[in-house]
Chains A and B, each alone.
Chain A
C-alpha cells in the first residue's frame, strides 16, 4: 500500500507543482495583458510617446488602452520583511473596461476614481496582497522604482465581485497612468498601447489604418504573443519537470508492481490451499484482483493526499526557479487540475491491477499442489528471461530510432526507451553476472566460497523476485547517476564559462537591479565618471535590451550590447576571427540557445526591430553562453547605440591595474558606491559574482535534487519489498539450512551476501545505464532542446556513489529479513510441513 501511495504521490506532486506554476504564469500574464488582440510597442527601451495614444483615439482607433508597466520594489511592514518586486500596471480607467473586465467588474467602495485620478501616488492592491504587505486602505507606504523612492497611497483594495480568480490581481500594483509615469520618472512615455481590433474582414483594414499612424521605431503586434512568449520561455524548464515526473511515474510503477508481487507471494500458500479446497481459478483470480483493487484504491487515495502535500513544497521550488531564471512570478495557490488527479488515479489503480495481473494469473495458473512450489515459478521466470531480454533490446532500438529527430517528444522517447530497455535487460545481465561470480568463486573453499556461491546462484534461482527488484533498483540508481552526471557536467561547464567570461575585476550595476528590477539602467555619463576613479584603468559598458523580431515565433530577443571582447567569449560555431570582424561591422553573435531555438547558424539573418524599423542582422558566429535559455544576441555597443538611439548602460565591468589586491578592490568598490548617493550603484567582485551565479545554478537544480532523492527512496522501497517477499518465501529453505547445521551467523551472512550481491549487481548495471542516460540528457535533451552544449564530466565519485547507493539500499533493506530469518528456529520453520 505504501508503495502504491508513494508512486502516486511522487507523480501527482510533481505534476501539480508544474501545473500550478503554469497557471500562475498565465494568470499573471493574462491579468497584465487582458483581452487585447494587438499591442503597439516601441522598439527602443524608452517606450512610446504618449502623444501617439492621443493621435490614435482622435483618429477613431478604438478601443485602445494605454499602459505603463514597471517594477515596484516594496518591503513588507514588520520585522524581517524582505523587499519584493511587484509588477506595476499603470492604466487609464476610462480605456480599461473592454480590455481587463476583471477590473471592470470589481465592485465595492474601494474604487474611488477621484482619488485615483487626482491624488499623486494613489494605487490599488488586491486584498490578499495588501494583507501580505501589512497595508490597509488609506495608508501611505514607500516603494522603489529604479533609483527613485516614492511614497504611494493605498487608496483602495481590489476585490473580485464575481469571485473568479482574484489571484489574477494578486501581486499586482494598479494605479492611474499619471501616478505610474510619475513614480517611474518616465514622464510622457507609455510602455504599450493595447488594442482590440475587430476580427475577420475588418481586421486587415483597421490594422493598416493603425500602421499608417505609427511613427518609425514603433510597431504593432499580436498580443497573444506575450502569453505565448512567457509560456514558451518557461516551456523548456517545465518540460524538464514533466520528464522528471514521468520518470517518477516509471519508478512508481515498478514500486507498485513490486508491492503487488509481494502480496501475491505472501498468499501463495493460502491460494494453493483454497484451490485444493475447491475454489475455482476464476474465484481465485477475481479474489486476487479484488484485493489488488482495494489496495489500489486506498493507496491511491493516500497517494493523492500525500501528493498534494508534497506538491505544496515543490511548487515553491518551481516558482523560485522561475523567479530566478525568468521573471517575477508568485505562485501562492496550488492549482488542483482534475486531470492530474485523474491521471494519478488511473496510474495508481491501473498499474496496481496490471501489476497484480501477472501474479494473479501465475497463482491461478498453477495446479493446486504447484501453487505452493516455488521451483515451477522460477522455471517459468527462467523461460521468460530471454523474452524480457529481447523485448529490452527492441525497446532500446525503438528509442534509438527517435534519436535523429529533434523536438521534445523524440527526446522523451529516446530517454524512456533507454530506461525501460535497460530495465528489461537488467535481469538477464544480473544472471550473467551471477554466473560469472559463481565461476569466480568456484575454487574458493571455506565459508566465503560456499556462501558466495549460494548467494550467486540464489540470484538466478529467485529471478521472479530478484529480477524485478534489480530492474527497479537499476532504473532508480541509473536515473540518479544520469541526472547527477548531467548536473556535474553542467556545473563544470558553467564554472569554466564563468571563469572565462568574468574577466573584469569589479562589476557595477544599478543598485535596484539586485532587488529584482531587471530593466535598471544609467545614463552613458556614468562610464566616464567611473573611469575617473583612481585605480580604474578601463571601463567596459554593457547594455541589456530587448528587440522584437519579425521571425515567426521568435518573439522578443534579448540583446546584449558590448564592446568586442574575444578573450571572454568562446565562438562555438564559425571562424572566431571572421566572427569578430563581422561583429565589428554590426553583425550579431547568437548564443547557443538562441541559435538552437531559432535554427540560426553562421551566415543566416535575424530581422530585428530597431528605432528605424526592422533591419536584418547577419549572424557572424554562435557563442557559448549559459546566461539565458531563451538565448541572447550580442551586438557591438556602438552599432546598438546608433540603431536603437539608446546609449544608457545596464552594467559595467571595471578593470583595475594588474596586481591589484583585495585592499585596492575594496577601495575602488567603496568609491563606486559613494559615486552617486541619489542613484546608488551596486558593486560585486569577480569572485562574488561567480559565486552568486553558481548559487543560482544550484538553486535551479534543487528540485532536480529533490527528485533524485525521491527516486532513491522509491528504489529503496522497491528493494525492501522484493527482499521481504523473497525471504518470506524462503522460511522453509532457511529452516532446512539451519537443520543441516548452519549457524544463525552463517544464515545472516548468506542473506546479507544475497542482498548485497543484488545491490552490487544493480549498482554495477546502473553505471553504464546511468552513463547512457547522462549522455542522453546532455546531448539530446539539453543540447537539442535548450541549445546548451556542455562537456560530459564523469567523475568516478558519481559512479562509486551509485554502487554505494545501490549496495547500501539493498543491504539496509536486507537487515530486517536477515534478522528475522536468523532468529527463526529450524523447527518452527519446518513445522508447517
Chain B
C-alpha cells in the first residue's frame, strides 16, 4: 500500500504545488488541502475510460516494471536502509508517481501537450549522526513534471523511470538487456541542504505479488483495488551525499509497484503501512502490513499483511489474525499532527512479537501534502528467540485529522 497521487486532480491551488520543490519552507499550509479531505472529496476527474482493478491478472516481467497507462495512477516506490562501513546509518525514499489527467487526449501539434503528470518525492534521513553536523537530519524534496518531451516518463524495455535528473534505469542499455541491476539517482538542494543519492540496485528476491495474486483490495467496493507487487529485498550499493560530504554505503532497498484507478472509499481517512526486512530468527523474511483507518477510528476489514519467507513464498495474514498497538506518539512541531511513534505487533499464527520504532522522530514530508514516511528499527522475538530488522513505515491522514474537516 502506498500513497496514491490522485490528489493531483483535486482542484486546489495547483500552481502552488511546485513551490516546495527543492525549496523550503513550502507553501502556506492553508492553501493545500490535506490528504484526507482530498481523498474523501474523491478525484476531480471521472474514472470513465480508465481500466479498473477488478480481478487477478497475470503479471509478466519485465513488461510490468514499465507503465500501465490504462490505469489512472501508478507508482515506483523505493525505500531502504543503508550503512557506511563505519556503521553510520541512513534511510532513503525515492518515489515517482504517474497520474493521468484524462484517459486519452487528442494528438497535438506541441510536444508539450501531456496526458500524464509525474510527481517525485525524494527524502534522505541521517539516522546516526556520529560523523558530525551535516545540516538537517531529515530533508525531503518534491517535484512535478508533465509526461512530455522526456521531462518525465516511464518505459519497460529498457526499464526506465525518470523525472528531470531523478531516475531509476536498467544499467543494461538495450531493450533486450536485463532489467536488473538498475541505477537509482536523485539530487536536490544546495549548500548544506544538498542531498544526493546514487545507488545500484540488484533484484534480490524475485517479485512478490501482494494481496490475492497481485490484486490488492482497498475497500469492500469492487474496483477499489490496485495491482500490487514488491521487490522486498534488493541489495543496494553506492553513495549518498549530504552537503559536501560523500558516503559510500550499502544496504537493502524495497521496491513497491502499484497501479490502480480508484482505491479508497470515502470512509477511509488514511493508512499506516509497514515494510520490514527481518534478521535474526526470521532472517531473510519480510513483513508487509497495512492498516486502512476509517473515520470512526476503526481499521477497515480489508487491512492485511503478508509474511514473505526466505524462499519467496508468501503467507497472507488477515487483520483479525494480528494485533497492532500504538505504544508512543510524536507531535510534529511543523504541522501539529500527532503520529504514532512506536508499535507493538503480535502475529500469534507466526509466533511473532515485534516492537517497531522510528529511527528518527521527524521524518514528516513537507510537500503539497503532509505524511510521515521514515526508517524504522525492529526488535522482538519469534518463538521466544530474538528477531531484529529494519524497514520503512508510512502514515497518512494524521496531519489533517487534527484539523477541522473542510
- Residues of A in contact with B (beta carbons under 8 Å apart): 50-51, 53-54, 57-60, 62-63, 92-98, 101, 103-107, 109, 111-114, 117-118, 120, 161, 176-179, 181-182, 187-188, 198, 202
| A59: B residues at CB distance < 8 A | 165
A117 touches B165 (CB 8 A): no
Interface pair B113/A178, CB less than 8 Å apart:
yes
Q: Which residue of A lies closest to B101 (CB)?
A: A114
Of A161, A176, A178, A198, most buried by chain B (CB within 10 Å of CB) is A178
**B25 on interface, CB distance cutoff 8 Å:** no
Find the B residue at minimum CB distance from A117. B114
Q: A220 CA to B164 CA in the complex, in Å?
A: 21
Q: Which of B15, B17, B145, B187 contacts A60 (CB 8 A)?
A: B187
By the criterion CB–CB under 8 Å, are B165 and A60 in contact? yes
Let me know if B18 and A98 touch, CB within 8 A. yes
Q: A63-B22, A117-B117 are in contact. Are A107 and B108 (CB under 8 A)?
A: no
Q: Is B44 an interface residue (CB 8 A)?
A: yes
B353 at the interface (CB under 8 A from A): no
**In chain B between 135 and 174, which residues have their CB closer than 8 angstroms to a CB of chain A?**
143-146, 148-151, 162, 164-165
Enumerate chain B residues within 8 angstroms of A94, measured Cβ to Cβ.
Answer: 17-18, 117, 143-146
Report if B349 contacts A (CB, 8 A): no
Known: A97-B19, A117-B101. A104 touches B109 (CB 8 A): no
| A181–B110 CB distance below 8 A | yes
> 15 A-B contacts, Cβ less than 8 Å apart?
A51-B149, A54-B150, A54-B151, A57-B151, A58-B162, A63-B21, A94-B143, A94-B145, A98-B19, A107-B12, A114-B45, A178-B113, A181-B109, A181-B112, A187-B110
Which B-chain residue is minimally distant from A102 (CB atoms)?
B15
0 or 1 for each of B3-43: is its CB under 8 Å from A? (1 = yes): 00000110111111111011100010001000000000000
Chain B nearest CB: distance from A554 CB in Å?
32
Q: Of all chain B residues, which has the CB nearest A206?
A: B190
Which B residues are in CB contact (< 8 Å) with A104?
A: 13, 15-16, 18-19, 27
A109 to B191, CA, bound (A): 38
Minimum CB–CB distance from A149 to chain B (whole Å) comes to: 15
Which of B9, B13, B102, B112 has the most A CB atoms < 10 Å from its CB? Answer: B112
A423 to B191, CA, bound (A): 65
**Are A176 and B112 within 8 A (Cβ)?**
yes
In the complex, how many residues of chain B place their beta carbon closer than 8 angstroms to a beta carbon of chain A? 46
Closest 8 CB pairs of A and B: A178-B112, A97-B19, A97-B18, A178-B110, A181-B110, A94-B144, A113-B14, A60-B165
Q: For residues 82 through 122 of chain B, which have their beta carbon under 8 Å from a beta carbon of chain A?
A: 101-102, 105-106, 108-115, 117
Q: A54-B151, A113-B101, A120-B113 are in contact. Are A105 and B16 (CB under 8 A)?
A: yes
Please give the distance in Å from B155's CB to the nearest CB on chain A.
15
Instruction: Tell me how far the C-beta of A646 lies from the nearest C-beta in chain B, rounded to whole angstroms.
Output: 22
**Across the interface, do A106 and B15 meet the contact criterion of CB distance under 8 Å?**
yes
Residues of B within 8 A of A176 (CB): 112
Question: Min CB distance, B161 to chain A, in Å?
Answer: 14
In the complex the two chains form, what is the Cα distance from A92 to B17 in whole Å? 12
Contact indicator B21/A58 (Cβ below 8 Å) = no
**B16 to chain A: which residues have CB within 8 Å?**
97, 104-105
Contact, CB under 8 Å: B164 / A57: yes
Q: Which of B17, B31, B149, B187 contacts A54 (CB 8 A)?
A: B149
B22: chain A residues at CB < 8 Å are: 62-63
Closest Cβ of chain A to B15, distance in Å, is: 5
Set of chain B residues within 8 Å of A178, measured between Cβ atoms: 108, 110-114, 148
Chain B residues lying within 8 Å of A57, measured Cβ to Cβ, are 145, 151, 164-165
Q: Which of chain B's residues has its CB closest to A197's CB? A: B190
B-to-A contact residues, CB < 8 Å: 8-9, 11-19, 21-23, 27, 31, 44-45, 101-102, 105-106, 108-115, 117, 143-146, 148-151, 162, 164-165, 187-188, 190-191
A58 touches B112 (CB 8 A): no
Tell me the minimal C-beta distance from B105 to chain A in angstroms: 5
Using A96-B18, A97-B21, A178-B114 as known contacts, say yes or no to A114 and B102 having CB atoms under 8 A apart: yes
Q: A54-B149, A63-B22 are in contact. Are A103 and B15 (CB under 8 A)?
A: yes
CB contacts (< 8 Å) of B114 on chain A: these are 117-118, 178
Candidates A98, A105, A118; contact of B31 at CB < 8 Å: A105
B149 lies within 8 A of A50 (CB): yes
Report the separation of the CA atoms of residues A686 and B45 in the bound assembly, to the nearest whole angstrom. Answer: 59
Which residue of chain A lies nearest to B20 when distances are taken between CB atoms in the complex?
A97
Kindly list chain A residues whose C-beta atoms are within 8 Å of the C-beta of B190: 198, 202
Contact A118:B165 (CB < 8 A) given known A57-B151, A107-B13, A111-B13: no
Q: Is the beta-carbon distance between B109 and A187 smaller than 8 angstroms?
A: yes
- Nearest-neighbour CB distance to chain B for A568, whole angstroms, equals 41
Choose from B19, B111, B146, B149 the contact partner of A117 (Cβ within 8 Å).
Answer: B146
Given contacts A104-B27, A118-B101, A92 and B19 within 8 Å (CB-CB): no
Chain A residue with Cβ nearest B113: A178
Cross-interface CB contact of A177 among B15, B105, B112, cutoff 8 Å: B112
Q: Which residues of A contact B23 (CB under 8 A)?
A: 63, 98
Q: In the complex, what's the smallest C-beta–C-beta distance from B255 to chain A, in angstroms?
A: 23
List, in ascending order, chain A residues with CB within 8 A of B149's CB: 50-51, 53-54
Q: Give Cα A59 to B166, complex, Å.
A: 10
Partner of A50, one of B19, B44, B111, B165: B111
Chain A, Cβ-Cβ closest to B19? A97
In the complex, chain A residues whose CB is within 8 Å of the CB of B145 = 57, 94
CB distance from B41 to the nearest CB of A (A): 13
Q: Known pairs A62-B21, A187-B109, A187-B111; list 17 more (Cβ under 8 Å).
A: A50-B112, A57-B145, A60-B164, A60-B165, A62-B188, A94-B143, A97-B27, A104-B18, A104-B27, A105-B16, A106-B13, A111-B13, A111-B14, A113-B9, A114-B102, A176-B112, A178-B112
Instruction: State A95–B15 Cα separation when bound (angstroms).
Output: 9
Q: Which residues of B contact A187 (CB under 8 A)?
A: 109-111
Report yes or no: A118 in contact with B27, Cβ–Cβ below 8 A: no
Complex partner residue of A120 from B14, B44, B108, CB under 8 angstroms: B108
A161 proximity list for chain B (CB < 8 A):
13, 31
